[in-house]
Every structure is written in C-alpha cells, then in structure tokens.
Amino acid sequence: MALDRQNANITTFGLARPKTNIDRRSCKRNVPMKVLCLGLCRTGTSSLRAALLELGLDDVYHMCSVTEENPPDANLWKEAFDAKYEGIGKPYGKDEFDALLGHCMATADFPSISFAPELLAAYPDAKVILTVRDNADVWYDSVLNTIWKVSNFLRAPPRTLTQRIVQAILPKPAFNIFKYSPLGNFPEEGRQWYSDWNEEIKTLAKGREFLEFNVKQGWGPLCKFLEVEQPKTAFPRVNDSNTFKEFHHKGLWLDVQRLVGISTKLVAALGVLGLAVWLAKK
C-alpha cells in the first residue's frame, strides 16, 4: 500500500505509521526483501522511507518502527544486539530477521544498519542504497544538533530531574537499544567515522545492485534504480534538522506519553514526586 502523506504522523523520530503491539517472534516473511538502505542516521533516511512507501514498497523498517509503531520489536533487537556485541544468545540470521522484518520490503536507519553484514548475507538479492549528505561536515553538524543530543540524553547517567523521569518511564527494551546507536566515537571522530562507514558499506555491497543517493537528487535516480515509474508528486522531505529540533523541544513529552500510555496529569504528578524526592536528598 502506497503512503498516504496526509494521514502520516511525523514525530520526534521521523515518520510514523499506526501503532501496533505485535510479538514478531513467530512471524514469517510474507513479502520479499527488495531494498537495504544502509546509510547512517541523518542522511535523509526518513525522507527515503516516505519515498519508498510512496513507491509501493511496504513496509520500510526504520527507527520509528520500534519507537513509535511496534514497541515490542525492541525486545528482539535487544536480543540481536546482545548476541552481536555481548556474546549473549544466538546471533541473528535469516530466520530471525525474517521474523522481525518479514513484513518489510526495505530497511533503513538504526537499528537495522547496525546489522549491515548480516542483512546483506540474509538477503543476497536485495538492492542496496547508501544515503549520503553533501559532505562529512554537513552530516556532522546535523547529527551534533539533533540525534547526538537526544542519544546522550537517553544514554547518559541521569543528572537532571527530566532525565530521571524520562529514563524511568520509557519502556526499558526501547531505552536499552540506544546504547548501540552507531555513532562511533562521536563527536571527536565523527567526520572520519562517517567516511569510514560509507566506504565499508561500498565494500560490503561490491557486486550488488548499488545506488549512492542524496535525497536532494529527488525521484529521478531512485526511480531509475528501482525501475519504477516516477511519481508526479514532489519528493518527500521529512524530519530535517529544524523539524527534528521543533519536535524534540515541543513534542518529546507527547512522545513519551504516547509510548507509555499515560496522561498529562500523571506526567505532571511524576514530575512533582521526582522533584520532592530530589529535594529531600539535597
């Protein structure tokens, strides 16, 4: 089903579709995996997701898929991360990814890009798209002013009342996977890491159908690569830096409330209680 932009929901983490509560452990693949989008966060992945959905690739797995659309997925991603980085449990392969991603025809953004080698091995016929920015400096500035602040806020030891409240009420599996966000040793080595990542993906994808794509290029290169007719609508622009910051500052609490299903009054009550406890310890 192509994306209906008018009914799409734009959130702090990007474009989100209707929320579900599915345990995918017993799911199977029911659509072919056609495209693996392996560019880093803040390279236009939300816009690309919207574009692919509009072209009929349904669904496209994105960070929003776990934070906004189907939160139970975080449990499976945590298992995959534990196996890959902690040596705990069985490493994820095609069967596991078919369960988690079996409803998707494409992937983009974190957390899936953390498993680029595994996904390339699991889906050898999938085309590969590497989203890029104009240069490393542009990407670095975008990350520094957006997801780096949010990632630090969520991962750092709580030092403020707001951090304590948010970290206390966010679903633990979703919160836990943020520590694996693929930002390298950012910000000190961010620019070099961006370049290294792109080169690694090009090496891994050697011999595959491959497109290096800047979303500023619009429909033309993308539709040619996918061999589909170009839409007459404008190429989607989703979750740019200004939009991200607007939703981060004005909408973070709304996202938290939606994630945990609590009311504004309860958030306020938690804030008052947290403040009282904090003052009592001073």
User: Domain boundaries in the chain?
Assistant: 5-156+173-238
Q: Are strands 14-16 and 9-11 parallel, antiparallel or unpaired?
A: antiparallel
**SS3 state at 178:** helix
Residue of 95, 89, 92, 87 whose CA lies nearest to 118 = 92
What are the pLDDT tens digits along the chain (282 aa)? Answer: 444 444 445 444 455 678 899 999 999 999 999 999 999 999 999 999 999 999 999 999 999 898 889 989 999 999 999 999 999 999 999 999 999 999 999 999 999 999 999 999 999 999 999 999 999 999 999 888 877 766 666 666 667 666 665 566 555 555 566 667 666 567 888 899 899 999 999 999 999 999 999 999 999 999 999 999 999 999 998 855 455 555 444 445 444 444 445 444 444 444 444 444 444 444
pTM equals 0.79
| One-letter identity of residue 128 | V
* DSSP secondary structure code for residue 107 in this structure: E
In whole angstroms, how far apart are CA 86 and each of 14, 96, 131? 29, 18, 29
| CATH number among 3.30.470.20, 2.60.120.10, 3.40.50.300, 3.40.50.720, domain 5-156+173-238 | 3.40.50.300
Output the six-digit token pair for 18: 């209707």
For residues 239 and 139, give the distance between their C-alpha atoms in angstroms, rounded to a whole number: 14
